[in-house]
Amino acid sequence: MDRPKQEGVRNRLLRLMAPDDFARLAPALESVSVPLRELLILPLEPITYAYFVEEGIVSLVADTVEGRIEIGVVGYEGMCGAPLVLGTDRTPHTALVQSDLVALRLPAAALQAALAESPALRSLLGRYVQSLIVQVGHTVYANTDLTIEARLARWILMTHDRLQKDELILTHEFLAMMLGVRRPGVTTATHVLEGSGMIRARRGRIIVTDRDKLEDLAGDAYGPAEAEYDRLFAQD
């Protein structure tokens, strides 16, 4: 198997690593393709791999008595398996592939060994965990205080950021699960956004047509987490 080269990867964390740290990880990195709705991490089960996303999105999902609700998203800016950075091998949350995924997979033991050897790597990935905590906090705020329409706008913006294309493969059923609402609520919210010229809805997909309007609707639920990520990695 060919080892990945740092200049050839898309994942931002891998690109930001010191060359020595990337060299520590490279022999154990494996490129994998994972289909939609595959589970990468199961609740309270040992995390066997970290996934550095190259393309696609992973949803971090809380399983509740009322069903699943998304609490965070990971794209090419980050990694799936953040609990490993914090010194634990499991989490009560599920990691679910939201958009067909291409990632560089790393065995948990290899990541933990590299973290033990390199303070610089611990700092880099620790800053990413901080950015993820801020994102999760703003998701809680959005789910508590925002209308379904505003939550949908925020979610579309976050997906748009990570996929970097205007046409998003999103069914109403999947959106309902991610937002923790009933499907008719998503259908109504989609019609509102479409009627305001923010999106065009097609069967199984949403096309972003006016990002500025989406940002206005999402308000301060979108932006602070993204700014925190930029701040944390501005020095790299």
User: What φ, ψ does residue 216 adopt, rounded to 5°?
Assistant: -60, -40
Neighbours of 4 (CB within 10 A): 20
- Give CA–CA dist 50/58, Å, rounded: 12
Residue among 38, 94, 47 at smallest CA distance from 68:
94
Tell me the two tokens of residue 75. 């794209």
Q: Is pLDDT above 70 for 1?
A: no
Which residues pair with residue 202 across a beta bridge? 205
What integer pLDDT is reported at residue 61 of this predicted model? Answer: 92
Whether the pTM exceeds 0.85: the reply is yes
Residue among 85, 81, 13 at smallest CA distance from 50:
81
Planar angle of CA 8, 31, 89, nearest 5 degrees: 115
Planar angle of CA 6, 8, 10, nearest 5 degrees: 90
User: What φ, ψ does residue 120 adopt, rounded to 5°?
Assistant: -65, -40
Least confident of 104-108, 175-179, 195-199: 175-179
Give me the domains of the chain, ranges plus CATH numbers: 6-142 (2.60.120.10), 146-229 (1.10.10.10)
> How confident is the model over 90-114, as a mean pLDDT?
95
Side chain identity, residue 142: A
Q: What distance, in Å, lies between the first and last C-alpha atoms of the chain? A: 30
Tell me the two tokens of residue 229. 């990520």
Write the pLDDT tens digit of every residue in 158-193.
999 999 999 988 777 778 777 777 888 888 999 999
What integer pLDDT is reported at residue 179 of this predicted model? Answer: 77
- Rounded to whole angstroms, what are the CA distances from 189 to 63, 180, 201, 217? 24, 13, 11, 12
* Mean of per-residue pLDDT scores for the chain: 92
